[in-house]
Amino acid sequence: MPKKTLTDIDLHHKRVLVRVDFNVPLEEKDGKMVVTDLTRIQETLPTLRALLAQQAKIILCSHLGRPKGKPCPKQTLAPVVPVLSELLGLPVQFSSQTVGDEAKAKALALQPGEVLLLENTRFEAGEEANDPALSRALAELAEVFVNDAFGSAHRAHSSTAGVADHLPAVCGLLMQKELAYLHDELEAPQRPFVVILGGAKVSDKIGVIQRLLEKADTVIIGGGMAYTFRKLVEGITLGKSLYKPEWEPIAQAALDKARERGVKLLIPVDAMITDAFDFDAKKLGNTRYTAVGEGIPEGWEGVDIGPESVKLFSAAIAEARTVIWNGPMGVFEIPTAAKGTFDIAEAVAANGSAKTIIGGGDSVKAVKKAKLGDKMTFISTGGGASLELLEGKELPGVACLQEK
């Protein structure tokens, strides 16, 4: 059932508690903490502007970092205040408490169109425990709850879920967009529907593989998890590439399901291999590409897909009308091993007739690094939350919102 959003509820002059994702990177400069990337703050502006258009009294809350239930000066949300104020063109007030007398007094004193930011929700021990007392204290500040923190929606915390037990609760505009692309769009995709999955571990992605095999026409598997599939299908040796025996039955189940459902499952046909790997120094030893059908020798490991795999995958991507991508094709953090991932990003960007959805985490980083972000239909802001949604799981921060 679709969830209620800002247009389904009366917000005029209401005190609205908005859970946002202001989990921004901070850096110390001249003894002061400053925000070094504004993306997450900018992402909340459509919701905040819609609320301001209703003359709502806006109370913002978010977590930042992992302060473990205690105040920690390096993880205060105070540095967000000047940034948000500048972006909105309005003064932004700050409460040095998340809940309590100061928060309450400031929330109750808000006038229509004013904005208050509460201190880091994770300074409260009750936040991650989803403590009903904290949920109630947050709810007492407001008359309506808006959840716009998609990236935290897979967690059942007080500020993401518990508070909705005590207030009418609806989606913000960012949350609504995430659900539209990562959920609704995939229920009835324009076909062919091509799913690209990469990343390190078969075990992390199996839920997504299994679910999307039920929806897709083609599933492309790259990254570290592809080697287990190559061993099963081609019987090649893997050297010291990423592989675990316990991944074999999982990969086999995916191969069987693809065959049963008539889904094309594409795996790499070549690889960039190296004889030395230093992730921290971002360096590889000797490298070369394997030929089609060639195994990976003892002591070497696969770190990227090769040019023949790029050709194979790009041809499928070019035919697609819907593409969803989660997970890099190789160790893209190391420039020498980033080509396969960037080539696939180019192939996705080049398909102007498909809806192209970048489903979170490292593929988002890769697309941004390749400067192709503005060529994609939608880029998710969630990591774990995107993955869980793609697996078909119900997210606590969404389940708690009112249905239309």
Distance (Å, rounded) from C-alpha 382 to C-alpha 389? 10
Sort strands 169-171 and 32-35 into parallel, antiparallel or unpaired.
Answer: unpaired
Element (H, E) at 186: helix 185-187
Give the shortest CB-223-to-ligand AMP separation in angstroms: 4
Among 21, 114, 185, 362, binds ligand AMP (CB under 6 A): 362
Of 3, 14, 40, 215, the catalytic one is: 40
If binding is defined by CB under 6 A, does position 124 make contact with ligand AMP?
A: no
65 is catalytic: no
DSSP structure string for 313-360:
HHHHHHH-SEEEEES-SS-TTSGGG-HHHHHHHHHHHH-TTSEEEE-S
User: Scanning residues 197 to 236, which ones bind ligand AMP (CB under 6 A)?
Assistant: 199-201, 204, 223-224
CB atoms within 10 A of CB 70: 10
Q: Which is nearer to ligand AMP, 302 or 396 (CB)?
A: 302
201 is catalytic: yes
Q: Which residue is nearest to ligand AMP (CB)?
A: 199
Phi, psi for 75 (deg, rounded to 5): -120, 25
Angle value at C-alpha 281, between 278 and 287, nearest 5 degrees: 50
If binding is defined by CB under 6 A, does position 151 make contact with ligand AMP?
A: no
Interface stretch with ligand AMP, choices 79-87, 131-139, 313-321, 327-335 (CB under 6 A): 327-335
Phi, psi for 269 (deg, rounded to 5): -110, -5
Q: Which of 226, 185, 194, 232 is nearest to 213 (CA)?
A: 194
Distance (Å, rounded) from C-alpha 311 to C-alpha 239? 24
Q: Which is nearer to ligand AMP, 110 or 242 (CB)?
A: 242
If binding is defined by CB under 6 A, does position 359 make contact with ligand AMP?
A: no
Interface stretch with ligand AMP, choices 232-240, 306-314, 323-331, 346-354 (CB under 6 A): 323-331
If binding is defined by CB under 6 A, does position 278 make contact with ligand AMP?
A: no
Catalytic residues: 40, 201, 361, 384
Q: Which residues sit at the interface with ligand AMP, rule CB under 6 A?
A: 199-201, 204, 223-224, 242, 302-303, 327-328, 330-331, 333, 361-362
